[in-house]
């Protein structure tokens, strides 16, 4: 049973942590699931008994505020993990939702199975400890940004972070493919779609970047970073 899911651990950041033989295509297919764009992977109040690895695609983790406004907690891509609440609460309930922003493929691992793996592989336990810690630090950074920085700075800071995490360097420039919608950026930065559009247009007019629905091109990442400090 354990081996059905470990094929994917070989293909992401834990490659150097744990080395296991890949299984044949039949076993791989058993643990994968295709999620069409726009579908929810889980919703609030559902059992938190599984965690997920993204093999392809993009996933939004969010919640709904008291006023019914959507709050984006994380925007995740290939190679990232979510639903790890299952590791801490077992059969607890979800408080957020996971939504596929594009056609997405995920690997689903029951929490009970992952817990047994963590007991057997100390390096894997360390990996998840670092994962949890990095997510806590990221949330603290976002909170500080919301409190101390204006809308423009938050948007630019997000663009910088997105480029450093998922961008590809092409000469002196950086390319981020499958760029987010303005509304998705607004939800993540606690701004409005109109504000995001205004800031992106200003940055394009200043020749710091260009963008369309398919990609974001950063002409000079250091200059873009300096815009955060100026704001």
Name which CATH class applies to 3-139: mainly beta
Q: Is the distance from CB of 162 to CB of 168 less than 8 angstroms?
A: no
**CA distance linking residue 17 with residue 223, whole number of Å:** 36
Q: How many CB atoms lie within 10 A of CB 75?
A: 21
Give the pLDDT confidence of 27-70 residue by residue, as tens digits: 344 478 899 999 999 999 998 888 898 888 999 999 887 777 78
3-139 matches 149-230 in fold: no
Going from N- to C-terminal start, the domains of the chain cover 3-139, 149-230
Q: What's the mean pLDDT in 169-182? A: 89
Place of tokens 């007991």: 119
Give the pLDDT confidence of 136-168 residue by residue, as tens digits: 777 788 888 888 889 999 999 999 988 988 888
* 12: nearest Cα among 56, 48, 58: 56
What's the CATH code, domain 149-230?
A: 1.10.10.10
């Amino acid at each position: 049973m354990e081996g059905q899911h470990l094929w994917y651990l070989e293909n992401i950041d834990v490659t150097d942590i744990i080395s296991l033989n890949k299984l044949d295509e039949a076993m791989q297919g058993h643990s994968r699931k295709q999620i069409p764009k726009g579908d929810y992977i889980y919703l609030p109040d559902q059992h938190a008994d599984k965690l997920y690895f993204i093999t392809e695609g993009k996933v939004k983790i969010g919640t709904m505020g008291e006023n019914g406004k959507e709050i984006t907690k994380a925007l995740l891509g290939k190679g990232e993990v979510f639903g790890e609440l299952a590791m801490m609460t077992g059969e607890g309930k979800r408080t957020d939702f996971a939504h596929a922003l594009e056609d997405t493929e995920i690997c689903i691992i029951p929490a009970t199975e992952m817990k047994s793996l963590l007991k057997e592989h100390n390096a894997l336990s360390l990996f998840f400890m670092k994962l949890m810690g990095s997510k806590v630090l990221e949330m603290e950074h976002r909170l500080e940004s919301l409190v101390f920085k204006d809308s423009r700075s938050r948007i630019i800071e997000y663009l910088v972070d997105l480029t450093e995490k998922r961008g590809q360097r092409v000469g002196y420039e950086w390319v981020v493919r499958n760029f987010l919608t303005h509304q998705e950026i607004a939800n993540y930065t606690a701004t409005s779609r109109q504000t995001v559009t205004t800031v992106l247009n200003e940055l394009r007019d200043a020749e710091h970047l260009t963008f369309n629905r398919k990609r974001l091109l950063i002409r000079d990442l250091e200059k873009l970073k300096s815009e955060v400090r100026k704001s």
